[in-house]
Amino acid sequence: MKNLFEKKVNLILIIVILIVAILIGIPLVSRGCATSTSNGEIVTKPATADEATTEATTQKPTKGVDIKDAKVKIQKKKAGSSSTASASTKSDPRKSSAASKTKKKKSSSSLVYATAPKVEEKASHTAQWNAGYLVAIDNPDTSYSCEHIELSDKDRELLEKLCMGELGSGGFTGAALIAQAVKNAMYFEGYTNVRDVINNLHYTGKLTTPTKRVKDAVVYVFDMDKNAIQHRILYMYNPELMKDNYSKFHESQRYICTYQDVRFFDK
């Protein structure tokens, strides 16, 4: 009987020891990668901002931790980082230097573009359109007149191709402006054919197969004796196609108007 009692006591002691051992071992295992600081606080491995966001939104809250506060802190941290990056980009000395050089280069430009003379009272645009002019300006030349010039078949074909190559992209109005400039050169400067105008006034547009609208524009100016603009025009150029976007000769003439980047002048 005594032996049986001793066996039961021993069994109980063993069970108690095992329970104590288990209770002591659980906290050690749950710490994982945690390390202990000198003051006894437990510090885990710092999580990245993305990891912290994931943990805050997926894990159950522990005692004493407010998930909303955690999210706000993370968002503030991210906003601070992007704001710093933005500030560093703006204050990049290389970019600032490049910008100042560009401004300096533009400000030192001595290019002077001609402008139309200012008038106290602008002319009626509607009156010009009603009279058949395609482009209305503030200061038209009411005394402007250009007599009829008969085109040979050869000159007509050449002029149509020239109008298409010079300003065919401007449609009927663009072609009419070129046709008027050629007609003005023939009438006021004494050129007897279109080829002489091309050679002496240095037209450089490619001679291209014309559209019907371009052909109609030539008829409008030469056969119907209409004008694209109520002013004499003799010279024209497109700054976009010139070196430095500028022509000293043209800009020294009397500026009349601009149509689709092409500037027209009288002398």
Count other Cβ atoms within 10 Å, centred on residue 73: 14
What is d(CA 227, CA 263) in angstroms, rounded to the nearest whole number? Answer: 17
Torsion sign across C-alpha atoms 177, 183, 189, 194: positive
What is d(CA 81, CA 136) in angstroms, rounded to the nearest whole number? Answer: 57
pLDDT value of position 264: 98
Do 264 and 181 contact (CB within 8 A), yes or no? yes
- For residue 77, what are the contacts with CB-CB under 8 A and spacing of at least 6? 49
What is d(CA 133, CA 229) in angstroms, rounded to the nearest whole number? Answer: 5
What is d(CA 174, CA 262) in angstroms, rounded to the nearest whole number? Answer: 9
Decide the pairing of beta strands 254-259 and 42-43.
unpaired
Extract the tokens encoding 146.
């250009």
Model pTM?
0.60
Count other Cβ atoms within 10 Å, centred on residue 217: 32
Run means of pLDDT, 10 residues per run, the chain, 267 residues = 64 80 59 39 39 38 41 43 38 48 49 92 96 97 97 98 95 97 98 97 94 98 98 96 92 96 96
What is d(CA 217, CA 215) in angstroms, rounded to the nearest whole number? Answer: 5
pLDDT value of position 12: 81
For 22-55, the DSSP string reads HHHHHHHHHTTT-EE-TTS-EEPPPPPHHHHHHH
pLDDT value of position 20: 72
pLDDT value of position 224: 98
